[in-house]
Structure formats: structure tokens, C-alpha cells
A and B are shown apart, each in its own frame.
Chain A
């Protein structure tokens, strides 16, 4: 059983389009996250959600809108895609505990904007 699953795995789209990435975890965790990994492998914080509530929005442009319908799901919608949005987006989950618990990551969504 996949613990944190993301779909789609690959996404190629044109500039200006709107796209969504879905994430689901079956670990019973109460906190979920989105991270962006650029071509240099740097993992950048985007959002943190605890029990469906937004906890942190790390100065991400308004074009990015996360939605958590329940604590097992965290989706990411991106409007008006730009070339600079090309990256791998990772969803992750953990138990809440002030960073005291390890994250379980999804397999990532490679987004290419052309």
C-alpha cells in the first residue's frame, strides 16, 4: 500500500494554463505539506496544513492555492502557470509535533511548463 500518493507523476503544460496536483495519505497523519524541489535539488517549503487548517504559507505566490478537504488529502492548484514553476512538487505528511516527527514523502509530481 502506498503511504503518500501523488497524482499525476508527470505534468507537461503550456504557460498560462491552470493545473492541479492531488495528494492522499493513508498513514493517519494529521499534518500535510507541499514542498518544491528545483533543478538544483533544493527543497523549498510551500505550505503546511494541520487537520485541514492552513498553518504556514511560505510566501508562495497567490497563483498557488492549496486545498485540504480532509486531513488525509491535500491538493495543490496552480493558476496561470509560468516557466519558473517547472520543478518537482512533493507532498509529505507527518504527525503534528513541532517538527519532532519524520516526514513521509510522496513520489513527487514533475511539472514542466513550456
Chain B
């Protein structure tokens, strides 16, 4: 079945440093979505990428979708303590459902 993997599982950074999480799918995806879950919270939809090679920015966050539409990345420039949380990528599968990656937990030291 479809598998979506993320690395790293955990990342500690000093405030102000950059952060990147990578997502790889075992199958070609029609789109990829990214979510953020704050500690104790619920996943919140951030963005969706659809086109091969697509790059989208949201302030300090940059999202990329690979040319082969099997991988994606999320890069945060100059992390802040408000960026703390777990970032998930997700790919669509049958039944309108999403297969989520294992998530990357970001911790930011002030």
C-alpha cells in the first residue's frame, strides 16, 4: 500500500536557525498537503501543492513539490518559538482519505 515517510523524526534548533523536513511517497501523488500540529493541539491545514516542481511560500515557510511528484519539503527560515510543533505531510489515497507521514517534531530553543 501507499507509504509516506518523513525525515527527520525530531529536530532541535536554536531560535533563528533554519529548519527543513522532507517527505517521500512510495507512489506518485496527485497533490501533497502539509499540516502543523502544535503541542496538545490538532493538525491544521497549511497548504496544498499540485504541480510538478511547484514552490509556494507563506511568510518564512517555503514548500516544494518534487518534479516526479513523489517527494516534498518544507523549509522554515529563521525559526521562532511559535514554529514549535509537529509538521506532517499527507498524500491522497482511495476514499478521499489522506495518508499522513510520520511527522517531524520541531523544537526551538529560545
Interface residues of A, Cβ cutoff 8 Å to B: 31, 33, 35, 40-43, 45, 48, 50, 55-56, 58, 90, 94, 96-108
Contact = CB atoms under 8 A, between A and B. Distances in A.
Interface of B: 30-31, 33, 35, 37, 41-45, 48, 86, 88, 91-100, 102-103, 105
A92 B99 CA distance: 13
Contact of B43 (A45, A98, A100, A103): A103
What 9 A-B pairs come out closest when comparing CB atoms? A99-B92, A56-B95, A102-B45, A43-B100, A55-B95, A105-B42, A48-B95, A48-B97, A105-B43
Contact of B96 (A41, A43, A48, A58): A48
Contacts of A101: 48
Contacts, number: 67
Q: Report which residue of B37, B43, B93 has the largest number of chain A beta carbons within 10 angstroms of its beta carbon.
A: B43
Given A42-B103, A90-B42, A105-B44, A100 B31 contact: yes
A111 B95 CA distance: 26
